[in-house]
Chains A and B, each alone.
Chain A
Amino acid sequence: MRSGNPAGSGDRPRADRGLAERVADGEIRAVARLISHLEDGDPAAEEAMRALRGRHGKAHLIGITGPPGSGKSTLTDKLIGVFRSRGARVGVLAVDPSSPFTGGAILGDRLRMQGHATDEGVFIRSLASRGRLGGLSRATQAAARVLDAAGYDYVVIETVGVGQSEVDIVKIADTVALVSVPGLGDDIQVIKAGIMEIGDVFVVNKSDREGSDRVVREIRGMLETAASLKRSALPPPVDSLRGRGSVTGPGYQASAPSAAAPGADAPASATEVAPAPGAITMSPEELAHHLTESAYNVNLAADPELPPVLKTVAETGEGVEALADAIIAHRRGLEASGKLVERRLEGIRAEMRGLIAFRLLDALEGGAGRSREDALARAVLAGGEDVYGAAEELFAALSKGGMP
């Protein structure tokens, strides 16, 4: 497979041009180098990012998250295949954990994406979490922006294998696909706060295994309950049931960046009735089941906010086409309702807060900061100071612009 866009080719770097310019041209080595600079906190990164401002915002940022071993990498591999078959270029950021002791890491997600190893329309980068909690690394958000600016139509961000509370992906991705597998726990797990709240599309992978239907039911039940608690007393218009008859909704035409090849075999014509914003897409059988299950509250079934729950077998690719469609439909819904802007603003706010927090922490890590911190910690241990007072003192010193 080869993209029609020559910008993706791994040209020789031309040293006479700036890093940002080379990134904007999609030059692989420059893209890779800028991501490294971002990871290392190199000042060259800030300069390049400033030069690239305004060049991003086109790509669909997709988060893939879920517990270790749930099949995130294999699913990502198959999603790349679907997007490529539609002529789009795909960037991938795969985050794996760093050792809390040595800072080293083994980054193995790429292992499962070998099918696209030499496809010039695909860029895969492994990122180590480098001490950051929350399922991502410090540089992930900026790295996604780099891939966006380099012209990738889809940027898939695979988080570390998560537990219950690594939810940072929701601040970066337009669409979060939460991957579950059968056999992880009972139905109380799905109503707990945290990870189960952030899915825009729910995936039950390895669905050829026993118990997958139960997981689907439990997730749906959770989503319905959440929706019924949230919804207003007004029943939605009957019309909102329209357009949800099929799993394969219209493709990505409306919002596809121009790099997506024309003539890609998009599944439906643009004239087809588009699903309502954020509409769930399900088969008639599923719809019937859904209506029966929620018969005690018919209105529930019509809730256009209810995220889809899809079964996949990533290993064989089963269900992945429908997953891609659901992901695309979600983003279209966000665009149509204006929520994409809201969501991205939220993400930028979170990123700015993160940058401030990192600066404070870096200042603490510096020589003077560290010794002041150490002295205060000792004072707290000895009982001469309390931890709140000590923190107050440190914070005051930091916010005055560095350590005394």
Chain B
Amino acid sequence: MDKKIRVLVAKPGLDGHDRGAKVIARALRDDGMEVIYTGLRQTPEQIVTAAIQEDVDVVALSILSGAHNHLFPRVTELLVEKGAGDILVIGGGVIPEADYDFLKSKGVAAVFGPGTPTKSTIDFIRNNIKRK
């Protein structure tokens, strides 16, 4: 049997818009990945617990609230703390390009802004997951 890529699509923080997250979830599904969708308003703790229990290869964070510089690093920190630093973390949503470098320095592997073709995200995941 082949190894399935499992992705947790999560929405940290308080904004209530998950259209983008759902589009990504659907695109990944259509690419043959297994997507665990946990819905809105997740704390970093909830996201990390789910990522570990679900043994995902990727955590895809979507955020529109502007709190990404606080919440994304919290997720990557907690993952490392729990011994799950090998999980690839990517981000998307409304994030100023000026913040990309900061987020990358905190362990977010890539940030995909509005208008990114879903194919780019899919290719990035396939080329960068850390364990096969």
Q: Which residues of A contact B (CB under 8 A)?
A: 10-13, 28-29, 32-33, 35-36, 39-42, 98-99, 102-108, 110-111, 114, 117-118, 123-126, 128, 130, 362
Contacts and interface: CB of A to CB of B under 8 A. Distances in A.
Interface residues of B, number: 32
A33 B29 contact: no
A161 B119 CA distance: 31
Interface of B: 1-4, 6, 25-26, 28-39, 42-43, 45-46, 49-50, 52-55, 82-84
A32 B29 CA distance: 21
B84 A29 contact: yes
Contact of A104 (B29, B38, B39, B42): B29
A110 B2 contact: no
B32 A114 contact: no
Contact of A99 (B29, B36, B43, B45): B29
14 contacts: A28-B52, A40-B2, A42-B3, A104-B29, A106-B25, A106-B26, A107-B36, A110-B37, A110-B38, A110-B54, A118-B43, A125-B54, A126-B54, A128-B34
B35 A107 contact: yes
A40 B28 CA distance: 19
A103 B38 contact: no
A35 B3 CA distance: 12
B53 A104 contact: no
B1 A106 contact: no
Question: Which residue of B1, B4, B32, B53 has the most chain A CB atoms within 10 A of its CB atom?
Answer: B53
Question: Which residue of A10, A124, A130 has the most chain B CB atoms within 10 A of its CB atom?
Answer: A10
Given A10-B49, A10-B82, A41 B1 contact: yes
Contacts of B1: 39-41, 362
A110 B36 CA distance: 8
A105 B2 contact: no
A102 B32 contact: yes
B32 A40 contact: no
Contact of B35 (A39, A41, A105): A105
Nearest to B36: A107
A32 to B, nearest CB: 4
A29 B82 CA distance: 9
Given A28-B53, A117-B50, A125-B54, A103 B32 contact: yes
Given A13-B83, A102-B29, 12 more contacts: A12-B83, A29-B83, A36-B6, A99-B32, A104-B35, A106-B35, A108-B36, A108-B37, A110-B54, A118-B46, A130-B4, A362-B1
Contacts of A40: 1-4
A41 B43 CA distance: 33
